[in-house]
Structure 1
Amino acid sequence: MLAKIEVPALSLSQCFVVTSIDRRFVEFAGVMLHTLALNGDIDDANVVVFCDGLTSKDKSHLQMCGGDLRLTLFDLSEKALRQFDGLKTNSNWSRSIYTRLILPDLLGCKEGRIIYLDADTIVVDSLRPLLQLDMAGLPVAAVGGISQQGISRLRLPDGTKTMNSGVLAIDVREWLSRDLSKSCLAVVRTQGESLRFFDQDALNIALVGQFVSIDRRWNVVLHSHADDPAVFHFTHAKPNSVLCQHPAQPLYLQYRQATPWANKPLKSHWDKRFNRWAHSVRRLFGRVSAARLLRKPL
């Protein structure tokens, strides 16, 4: 658990809790918002969902799940999305994952605190300690530590910490002063093909360990443990799938009962295979369309 540190309290009007999704993650975002409303203890903080291609029905469901949250659903503009043109995606991660690399720009804020949550998380305790965390002059706080495998794969200096980017606390002023959005996008563009975890790897390379390490209770992934969990994160098979082995899956399904997806059957292993096939088809047709455009006479 975070130690109690006497720091000036931020006004909640300066605080944002944010996620970013396309249509494949609407259910997860809905359940996450429901848990955030029940357990997040964020009162008047601004909650923002950045949307890529959501339908009006999707948005209606999210609004329903948000309860009394000060929730804004923000459609990503073509101008914003163009920044991600050509960046690496796969059947699990779409272009919307790169949104976390430019959050202060998208929100138009110059100071304050941003809490970023992956949509495939559930909040089971107050997020207020993250809003009041002393960031020690660093731009980001996250769960992480020293991993020799990560250091070697990302070619980082020995002893460099790496982090999981599924839950982030961002000091907006420090982020902007270091121009981290530009640095992260530059990493993805120049090293994209060698990055295994795309945006997360870009953050780790750009930060070179310069982040505040927080207790793993803020990002409890598969095979990790916390005595007093605050956020569970379904990093492998998703909690609406028969393949999920995360011990918090029953809790996710319990919360899901209060959402529009209450009676939706669990996905089978065939769904994952279909998603991979569909992604391959989309990439193929994208290349074919681009080739046709290049051949088209002016």
Structure 2
Amino acid sequence: MHNILFTTDEKFAQHCGVCTVSLLKNNPRERFSIVVVGMGLSESSQKNLKACVNCFDNAVLEIVDFQKEKLIDFPQIGHYQKNIYLRLWVDEFFGDDVEKVLYLDVDTIVVDSISELFEIDLKDNVLASVNIPFATSHNRCHLPLEYEYFNSGVLIFNLKQWRLEDGRQKILDFLLKNSDIALNPDQDALNGVFYKKRLTLDYTYNAITPFFKKELFKKLGVRELSRIRENVKIVHFNGNARPWIYTCNHPYQRVYFKYLKYTPWSSYIPEDKSVFNYIKKQLRFMLGIESFVKLATVKGK
């Protein structure tokens, strides 16, 4: 049984459902114990999230109502809501017998089997994660230049080491000391605290938006970018690349909507969907001004 953690609020409950369905559809031979941690989730959203799992026979779901009082000591940084810190209580959401937990941001979708992730030996590392190519956040995180900066949207937690290291307290200490410079709160802190205690995963396990842009990450080379796009396992719609916004032209937008059809939110229609915006989307490609690449094929069952 593989352990999965999602954290969400009411606004992102639908996307959590889509990510859950994408995980289960693309990994039918695996069995999952899924924990969704929410703050202020409505009864309707909780019911819908449970329905996303009930139609599969390879997963069980538990919903945890997180008490906001636990967040009192954590600083409010920038535009981020404090619920971004919920994943830091991972050790409380799973029992002492659980060794490994895969955390996924709910603005991701799984588009292929990720069974190999669960076979990784974390050894004495606290976590595993995916680097952001050419990131320049080192000074902000007190991260030595010889280490790369990673994105926290996909994380494998080694719970034994997380507990031994008192991970949550170390993150809090870092944030309290650096709240004026930690622009990406827990991501900066995770980098600043655990850069020596983490494994690096392949880019395909957290393909963030720039991998699908024409002009970004070009220094990786055509061959490497093609490899990542062709073998992507987890697509991360970070930044402004939100597929539930109709005018977004991310090449995996239609895959998001394909999985949406298997959820109770299947009737969702983007507020900005219109004939005008349809023409606008098409013209961007025709005129060569669209920043996203147009892939010949996309993955996802």
Q: CA deviation at 1:41?
A: 4.2
Match of 2:284 in 1: none
Q: CA deviation at 1:164?
A: 0.5
SS of the residue corresponding to residue 176 of structure 1 reads helix
Corresponding position: 1:176 with 2:179: no
Match of 1:74 in 2: 64
Distance 1:42 1:97 in 2: 31
SS of the residue corresponding to residue 20 of structure 2 reads helix
SS of the residue corresponding to residue 165 of structure 1 reads strand
**Structure 1 letter corresponding to 2:158:** D
Match runs of 1:124-143 below 5 Å: 124-143=111-130
**Structure 2 letter corresponding to 1:254:** K
Distance 2:191 2:162 in 1: 14
Q: TM-score, normalised by structure 1?
A: 0.78
**Aligned pair in 2 of structure 1 residues 156, 130: CA closer, same or farther (>3 Å)?**
same
Identity of aligned residues (%): 26
Q: Structure 2: where are the runs of 5+ without partners?
A: 212-224, 274-301
Corresponding position: 1:194 with 2:184: no
**Aligned pair in 2 of structure 1 residues 151, 132: CA closer, same or farther (>3 Å)?**
same
**Aligned pair in 2 of structure 1 residues 20, 98: CA closer, same or farther (>3 Å)?**
same
Q: Structure 1: where are the runs of 5+ without partners?
A: 1-11, 270-298
8 Å contact 1:87–1:189 — kept in the other structure?
no
8 Å contact 2:129–2:200 — kept in the other structure?
yes
8 Å contact 2:77–2:183 — kept in the other structure?
no
**Aligned pair in 2 of structure 1 residues 245, 199: CA closer, same or farther (>3 Å)?**
farther
Match of 1:104 in 2: 91
8 Å contact 1:221–1:246 — kept in the other structure?
no
SS of the residue corresponding to residue 61 of structure 2 reads strand
8 Å contact 1:143–1:218 — kept in the other structure?
yes
Distance 1:206 1:127 in 2: 27
Once the two structures are superposed, what CA deviation does each residue of 1:233-286 show, in whole Å capped at 9, x if it has no partner? Answer: 1002221013434221111112112222223222449xxxxxxxxxxxxxxxxx
Distance 1:147 1:155 in 2: 16
Distance 2:271 2:158 in 1: 38
8 Å contact 1:40–1:125 — kept in the other structure?
yes
**Aligned pair in 2 of structure 1 residues 149, 209: CA closer, same or farther (>3 Å)?**
farther
Corresponding position: 1:40 with 2:19: no
8 Å contact 1:42–1:126 — kept in the other structure?
no
Does 181-190 or 103-112 show the bigger shift? 103-112
Distance 1:188 1:108 in 2: 27
Distance 1:40 1:148 in 2: 31
Does 56-65 or 147-156 show the bigger shift? 147-156
**Aligned pair in 2 of structure 1 residues 151, 81: CA closer, same or farther (>3 Å)?**
closer
8 Å contact 2:18–2:260 — kept in the other structure?
yes
Match of 1:263 in 2: 267
- Given candidates 226, 235, 239, the residue that maps to 1:236 is 239
Once the two structures are superposed, what CA deviation does each residue of 1:186-213 show, in whole Å capped at 9, x if it has no partner? Answer: 1122212311211111100111343111
8 Å contact 2:39–2:68 — kept in the other structure?
no
**Aligned pair in 2 of structure 1 residues 245, 211: CA closer, same or farther (>3 Å)?**
farther
Q: CA RMSD in A?
A: 2.2
Q: CA deviation at 1:49?
A: 0.3
Distance 1:61 1:209 in 2: 40
Q: TM-score, normalised by structure 2?
A: 0.77
**Aligned pair in 2 of structure 1 residues 222, 267: CA closer, same or farther (>3 Å)?**
farther
Match of 1:222 in 2: 209
8 Å contact 1:111–1:171 — kept in the other structure?
no
**Aligned pair in 2 of structure 1 residues 135, 251: CA closer, same or farther (>3 Å)?**
same
**Structure 2 letter corresponding to 1:252:** Y
Distance 2:196 2:270 in 1: 38
Match of 2:17 in 1: 30
Match of 2:76 in 1: 87
- Given candidates 240, 247, 252, the residue that maps to 1:248 is 252
